[in-house]
Amino acid sequence: MPRLAFGLSAAALGGVLLYGVAGPAAAEQTATREYAAQSRQRIIIHPHYPGPNAKRYCRSWLVQEYRVSGPVIVPRMQCWWQ
C-alpha cells in the first residue's frame, strides 16, 4: 500500500476523512452496533415432539410463598411426556 507524505496509508487517511465527514455520532453508532452484535447470545431451541401414542402427565401441588401482604398459597405444576 503506498505511503503518503506524513506516514499515513491511504486506508488510514480514508478512515480519517470518513470520520470527519460523518461526525462522531455516526462513529459512535457504528461502535455501539458492533458491540451489540458481538454481545448477543445465540439460543438454539431443539423442539422435542413426542410420538403419536405419547401421553402428557402432570403433577401439581400448592406452595406457600411469603409476600409483603402475608403468606399466599400458589399452585405449581410440572408436566412431561411419556
- The answer to pTM > 0.75 is no
With H, G, I as helix, E, B as strand and everything else as coil, classify residue 34. helix
Q: Could you tell me which residues are beta bridge partners of residue 67?
A: 70
Give the per-residue pLDDT at 81. Answer: 86
CA distance 61 to 39: 39
41 vs 76, higher pLDDT: 76
| pLDDT tens track for 12-62 | 555 555 555 555 566 666 666 666 656 677 877 767 778 888 899 999 999
Q: Are 70 and 49 in contact (CB under 8 A)?
A: no
Write down the residue that cell numbers 462522531 correspond to.
24
Give the per-residue pLDDT at 19. Answer: 52
64 vs 21, higher pLDDT: 64
CA distance 73 to 7: 74
CA distance 1 to 11: 9
